[in-house]
């Protein structure tokens, strides 16, 4: 799963959506609403997983599709959610007749995971190039690269009762190296006889692990007897979280 955390206001090529672009996308969505396919029935609940599943099942075949965006607007009967696709320049991806690919629906409420991802914003960006296959491939690469380090993890004797989502994310903030190459964080979990073995490390823009002068990765290793519900949900049946 990819979580936006290290995002900055400035764009790196087509990777990040700046606040200015966010305003433009919201305005374009509002203008294009009459052209975007609508789901007539009011949904009782829309979940985060259902919204992400839509991007996977209805992603246009255009080679320039890079992101999916979820937009919310308040309505008397609930919340209107719009889902559209963006290209490499963060522009709406449209059909030949100029109508944007996507959908809009109204839900009486959003599930907790979707609400948490929105926070106090009205737009969520999803990197569609970082789907399961690429994350799985990256996971395999990281595991191979960290093979010796992971062997050391098995010798860890310190065990904490629980690792929370907040504690894991806070570590990436408080212990982020001053190395200017740092762009992302990665949290890897492995089964352990006493619970979950967790490794947190820092990555550059090419997803390469950043090492200390002694050749070992910046980061930490620990064993947690259990993960809190929010962190468990964040892994979403995978063993790697990339924090951007």
Rounded-to-integer distance, Cα 89 and Cα 97, Å = 20
| C-alpha span between 155 and 192 (Å, rounded) | 11
Pairing relationship of beta strands 102-110 and 123-127 according to DSSP bridges:
unpaired
Same-domain check for residues 137 and 215: yes
Query: pLDDT at position 138, please?
Result: 55
Of 101, 127, 153, the residue that ends a domain is: 127
Same domain, 58 and 169: no
- Kindly state whether residues 42 and 149 are assigned to the same domain: no
Which domain range does residue 146 map to? 132-243
Are 117 and 167 within one domain?
Answer: no
φ/ψ of residue 47, rounded to 5: -105, 160
Does one domain contain both 18 and 114?
Answer: yes
Mean pLDDT by 10 residues, the chain (244 residues): 42 62 93 91 91 87 82 93 92 88 94 89 80 48 55 63 94 93 90 87 84 84 92 85 86
The verdict on 122 and 136 lying in the same domain is: no
Judgement on whether residues 58 and 148 belong to the same structural domain of the protein: no
Structural domain total, the chain: 2
Taking alpha carbons only, the member of 119, 191, 157, 139 closest to residue 1 is: 139
Q: Which pLDDT score is estimated for 100? A: 92
pLDDT of residue 71: 96
Write down the pLDDT at residue 236.
Answer: 79
Give, in degrees to the nearest 5, the angle at Cα 112 between 106 and 117: 85
pLDDT at 140: 54
The two structure tokens encoding residue 228: 């809190």
What local confidence, expressed as pLDDT, does residue 9 receive?
Answer: 35
Same domain, 111 and 151: no
- Give me the pLDDT at residue 134, please: 44
DSSP-derived secondary structure for the chain: -EE--S--SS--TTS---HHHHHHHHHHHHHHGGGS-B--SPEEEE-HHHHHHHHHHS--S-TT--EEEEEEEEETTEEEEEEEEE-TTSPBPB-TTSPBSEEEEEEEEE-HHHHHHHTT-SEEEEETTSSHHHHHHHHHHHHHHTHHHHHHHTT---EEEEE-HHHHHHHHHHT--S-TT--EEEEEEEEETTEEEEEEEEE-TTSPBPBPTTSSBSEEEEEEEEE-HHHHHHHTT-SEEEE-
């Amino acid at each position: 799963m990819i979580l936006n955390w290290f995002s900055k206001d400035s764009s790196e090529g087509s990777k990040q959506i700046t606040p200015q672009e966010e305003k433009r996308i919201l305005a374009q969505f509002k203008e294009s609403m009459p052209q975007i396919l609508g789901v007539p029935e009011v949904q009782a609940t829309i979940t985060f997983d259902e919204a992400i599943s839509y991007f996977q099942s209805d992603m246009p075949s255009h080679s320039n599709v890079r992101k999916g965006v979820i937009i919310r607007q308040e309505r008397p009967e609930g919340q209107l959610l719009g889902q559209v696709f963006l290209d490499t320049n963060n522009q709406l991806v449209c059909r030949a007749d100029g109508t944007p690919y996507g959908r809009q629906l109204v839900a009486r409420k959003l599930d907790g995971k979707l609400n948490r991802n929105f926070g106090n914003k009205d737009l969520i960006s999803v990197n569609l190039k970082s789907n399961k296959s690429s994350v799985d491939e990256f996971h395999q690469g990281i595991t191979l690269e960290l093979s010796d380090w992971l062997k050391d993890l098995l010798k860890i004797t310190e065990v904490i009762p629980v690792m929370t989502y907040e504690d894991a994310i806070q570590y990436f903030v408080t212990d982020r190296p001053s190395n200017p190459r740092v762009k992302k964080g990665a949290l890897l979990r492995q089964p352990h006889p006493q619970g979950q073995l967790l490794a947190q490390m820092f990555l550059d823009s090419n997803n390469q692990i950043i090492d200390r002068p002694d050749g070992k990765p910046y980061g930490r290793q620990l064993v947690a007897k259990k993960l809190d519900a929010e962190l468990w949900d964040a892994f979403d049946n995978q063993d790697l979280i990339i924090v951007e």
